[in-house]
Amino acid sequence: MKKKTDISQVRFKYKKDILDIKSSSPDPFKQFNKWMKEAIRNKVFEPTAMSLSTVNKKNKISNRIVLLKGLEKNNFVFYTNLKSRKSNELKENKNVAAVFWWPQIGKQVRIEGYVKIVKKKDADKYFSTRSRKSQISAWASNQSSVLKDRDDLYKRIKIIKKRFENKDVIRPIFWSGYLINPFLFEFWQARKNRLHDRIVYKKINQRKWKKYRLNP
């Protein structure tokens, strides 16, 4: 008989870094960039992936993974279909939360903030850097709507390919990006015996952040 896995006993022993409130940067964006570079340097899988939580007008939460595509003027940037569930919820409630989790280096960053849509010229610029196949997919996918059959998606792709044959694929008006303007950061560093380091940055004004430590 196959032995049943007891998930309550699945644990990982952390041994490495510390996060000190004195040596950490007074600027949370600089601290984030430092950790992101470390994640990339250590070849963390999808280091720019973040778990994004949104809330609709009925206060129901939904969550998904999106990719960070830039840090512009202290805003976190991601792109999506404007008809998607996340976009519809962002129209109803501008508040979001996001988490970056880098298990190989035992680090996590949590942010809370509100969103605004990126400028059209910035969305156009980013869209032009995507592969042609990804550009066509953006046109073909009615993101978050019911798909009766995958063949229907392939049919739409063929139509879009023909439409843009021998010319550049322009950005669809229903596809753009969002800027997350954070008002809170939490940096989490794994430590031995679950005595983790947690440091919070809370926004006081446009130039000042209050930094303090939390119990693990």
- What pLDDT was estimated at residue 1? 61
List the Cα angle 147/124/136 in 5-degree steps.
35
3-state secondary structure of 69: coil
Q: Which amino acid is at 127?
A: F
3-state secondary structure of 71: strand
Whether 209 and 198 have beta carbons less than 8 Å apart is answered as no
- What pLDDT was estimated at residue 5? 80
Whether 177 and 69 have beta carbons less than 8 Å apart is answered as yes
Q: Is the model's pTM score more than 0.85? A: yes
Q: Divide the 216 residues of the chain into consecutive groups of 10 and give the mean pLDDT of each group.
A: 75 78 95 97 97 96 98 95 97 98 96 97 97 97 92 96 96 98 97 93 94 97
- What pLDDT was estimated at residue 7? 75
3-state secondary structure of 184: strand
Q: Superfamily for 13-128+174-214?
A: Electron Transport, Fmn-binding Protein; Chain A (2.30.110.10)
- What pLDDT was estimated at residue 8? 77
Catalytic residues: 194
Sketch the domain layout of the chain as residue ranges: 13-128+174-214
Q: Compute the distance between CA of residue 52 and CA of residue 4 in angstroms, rounded to an integer.
A: 33
